[in-house]
Amino acid sequence: MIKYITKSPTETRKLAEVLIKKFLKYNTEKAIIIALEGELGAGKTTFVKGLAKALKIKAKVKSPTFTLIKSHKLQATSYKFLYHLDCYRIKDHRDLTILGIKEILNDPKNIVIIEWSDRVKKILPKNHIKIHIDHINKNTRKICVN
C-alpha cells in the first residue's frame, strides 16, 4: 500500500493524473478497474476529474449518482472507453446486472472507475486497484492506493 497526502482538490486531481499514467503502463491486457472508497465529500469525483483530464476527456465529469454509470469514449490511449460508476444509491452488485456490468469489467478495452465500490465488492475482479480516500480536515485528504 502507498499513502499520499493531498492538501487541495488540485493536488488530488494531479495525483490521479500521475497514477493513471502509471497504471496505463502496466499493460495487463485486462480492463483497468479502479475501486474508489471514501465518504461523501472525500474527493472521489475530484479524483475522477484528474483521471479524465489525463485521458484527454473533454466532457465535464460529475458523479453519475442518478444514472449510476457514464461512459466516455477514449481517443488518447489504446483503451476505448472510460466507465465511471457511482454506487451510492444502490444496495448491492445485483442492482448493476441490468447495466451489463460483467461484460464491462471483462472487456480489456475498458477503464472502469467505481465510486462507493465497497457496495459492489463481490463483482470486482481480483486484479482491481483499490483507492481509499480519508477526509483529514477541510483541505487535506489521505489517499491510500492498494
**Which residues, 6+ apart, have CB-to-CB distance to 103 below 8 Å?**
none
Restricted to residues 47-86, the positions that interact with ligand ADP (CB under 6 A) are 63
Judged by beta carbon, residue 95 or residue 134, the one nearer ligand ADP is 134
Give yes or no for residue 43 binding ligand ADP (CB under 6 A). yes
Residue 44 binds to Mg ion (criterion: CB under 5 A): yes
Q: Does 63 bind Mg ion (CB under 5 A)?
A: yes
The yes or no reply on residue 100 touching ligand ADP (CB under 6 A) is no
How far from 135 is each of 4, 26, 43, 52, 105, CA to CA, in Å?
Answer: 12, 29, 8, 22, 29
The single-letter code of the amino acid at 129 is I
Residue among 29, 7, 4, 8 nearest 19 (CA): 4
Residue at 51: amino acid letter: L
Which range binds Mg ion by CB under 5 A, 4-12, 37-45, 97-105, 106-114?
37-45
Q: Pick from 8, 67, 106, 127 the residue near ligand ADP by CB under 6 A.
A: 8
Grid cell 485521458 in the structure block, residue? 55
DSSP annotation of 126 reads T
Q: Which stretch binds ligand ADP (CB under 6 A): 1-9, 25-33, 93-101, 117-125?
A: 1-9
Residues of this chain that bind ligand ADP (CB under 6 A): 6-9, 11-12, 38, 40-46, 63, 115, 139-141
